[in-house]
Amino acid sequence: MKNNLEQAKELNAQVREFVRKNADKMFDRLEKEEDKRMNR
């Protein structure tokens, strides 16, 4: 039981890191798109 809890915490940390990296990438893409649209 305790081992499962540790694995879940580890997984949550990995998931949060994955989401954070993807969010950073998506915001970068969003900013580029906004710049393209504003410069027309």
- Look at residue 3 and tell me if it is in a domain: no
- Look at residue 29 and tell me if it is in a domain: yes
Domain count, the chain: 1
Query: Rg (Cα) of the chain, in Å, rounded?
Result: 17
Containing 33, the helix (H) or strand (E) segment is helix 2-38
Across the chain, mean pLDDT equals: 92
- The residue ranking higher by pLDDT, 25 or 8, is 25
Which tens digits make up the pLDDT trace of 3-19? 888 888 898 999 999 99
Q: What is the DSSP letter of 1?
A: -
Report how far Cα 23 is from the mean position of its chain's Cα atoms: 4
- Look at residue 4 and tell me if it is in a domain: no
Could you list the residue range(s) of the whole structural domain that residue 34 is in?
13-40
pTM over 0.95: no
Torsion (CA) 23, 27, 28, 31 in degrees, nearest 10: 170
